A and B are shown apart, each in its own frame.
Chain A
């Protein structure tokens, strides 16, 4: 256990960032190709997590704690976003029962 915490890990740095890119890609594909607004919200969570992993990785790489500080800010942004988004979706479910994002074109200003 201490061998892990001693920073003895020597994964190639590119592989960590490739994992970030792959996770973000999966989230973006989900965001673009799903129609259900609930699944779009989940895909956005995946993308936010990929960004958080990028910050953690960069923080460990430069040996600065700033990455984890930004991670905490991302966490609070995600909490606010999920709270508001889910409240909107619950309100939306009474009007559009299938949460189809294509039907939300009635806001004409």
Chain B
């Protein structure tokens, strides 16, 4: 089994499972198809000569981020009425407009890609984690710091949003009992 065939199989697997994510009615099923899509993309990364990115895709994306999704969906308490509402929303008429517009764009992009002939190279080289690390903590050090600030902002925002709301004041203001005597 050649590497090209593996690439085509995992690429079409990613595409099919992404389509199933988009068209699914049940959020939990869509989430599991999204995990399949991420794992197929990790296989693509490995075949494209980026084993470090493939490992990160499995550990961080399919592991951590998807677990976050799963726990959030568990807190949503999705029941049968949600699924019925989704199937009511997902009539075929609502797909026509976006799909036709986006397919025009896709046709243009594919035409441009097919007419491109002078690619820098035609073979795909293996890039090891060592080169990535040297680059990450050399020229890209500022980007790493900015990414850490972004994650800190996400942490603070998540903490703020997860706090209990303060008790809402009643709309009708009570007359103050201990007011000034006339």
Contacts and interface: CB of A to CB of B under 8 A. Distances in A.
By size class, the interface of chain B is: 35 or more
A11 B7 contact: yes
Interface string B31-45: 100100110010011
B129 to A, nearest CB: 8
A68 B52 contact: yes
Interface residues of A, number: 73
Contacts of B4: 9-11
A30 B21 contact: yes
Nearest to B128: A65
B150 A86 contact: no
A60 B49 contact: yes
A7 to B, nearest CB: 5
Given A60-B124, A72-B136, A78 B65 contact: yes
B89 A35 contact: yes
Interface in B90-143: 90, 94-95, 97-99, 102-103, 105-106, 109-110, 113-114, 116, 119-127, 131-132, 134-136, 140, 143
Contacts of B18: 23, 26-27, 46
Nearest to B6: A4
Given A59-B50, A69-B135, A84 B157 contact: yes
Contact of A53 (B30, B45, B64, B123): B45
Contacts of B73: 38
20 contacts: A7-B125, A9-B7, A10-B124, A19-B15, A25-B102, A26-B15, A26-B18, A29-B22, A29-B99, A34-B90, A36-B89, A49-B37, A60-B127, A65-B127, A68-B132, A69-B136, A78-B61, A79-B154, A82-B69, A87-B158
Interface of B: 3-4, 6-8, 11, 14-15, 18-19, 21-23, 27, 30-31, 34, 37-38, 41, 44-53, 56-57, 60-61, 64-65, 68-69, 72-73, 75-76, 82, 85-86, 89-90, 94-95, 97-99, 102-103, 105-106, 109-110, 113-114, 116, 119-127, 131-132, 134-136, 140, 143, 147, 150-151, 153-155, 157-158, 161-162
